[in-house]
């Protein structure tokens, strides 16, 4: 497995910049300033969680089962990842909370979570 891209300098903490990409097959190289990507701010545990979440096709109950944890724990992990991604995408806080509130209400209506858990999650917003 390849090394992960460093976002910050291990010496001074400054932001690292990707400036060269190269092809291992033919040796072609491209230089410039390249972005780190949407998931670059996630740690290894968060990346593994996102991978599992996608493999489970977003089914939180399946993620609960595979991780052996409760709905609020899965939701908390998901919220943490979403929070980091939102910072990367620079989504507004008000709109983000509104979207999250709607997701919680929809989850209650589908029976994915209890009204009590939903109320707890809404209060945390």
Q: How far apart are CA 26 and CA 74, in angstroms?
A: 44
For residue 49, give both structure tokens: 């969680």
Query: Does the pTM exceed 0.75?
Result: no
The ranges assigned to domains in the chain are: 44-124
Taking only the tens place, the pLDDT of each residue in 48-107 is 999 999 999 999 999 999 999 999 999 999 999 998 887 777 655 666 677 788 888 888
Q: How far apart are CA 30 and CA 100, in angstroms?
A: 40
- Beta bridge partners, 98, equal none
């Amino acid at each position: 497995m390849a090394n992960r891209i460093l976002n910050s300098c291990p010496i001074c903490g400054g932001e690292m910049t990707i400036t060269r990409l190269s092809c291992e097959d033919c040796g072609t190289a491209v230089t410039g300033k390249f972005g780190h990507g949407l998931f670059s701010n996630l740690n290894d545990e968060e990346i593994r969680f996102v991978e599992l979440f996608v493999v489970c096709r977003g089914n939180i109950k399946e993620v609960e089962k595979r991780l052996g944890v409760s709905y609020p724990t899965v939701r908390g992990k998901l919220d943490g990842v979403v929070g980091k991604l939102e910072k990367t995408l620079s989504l507004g806080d008000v709109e983000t909370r509104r979207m999250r509130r709607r997701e919680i209400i929809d989850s209650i209506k589908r029976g994915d979570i209890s009204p009590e858990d939903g109320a707890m999650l809404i209060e945390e917003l």
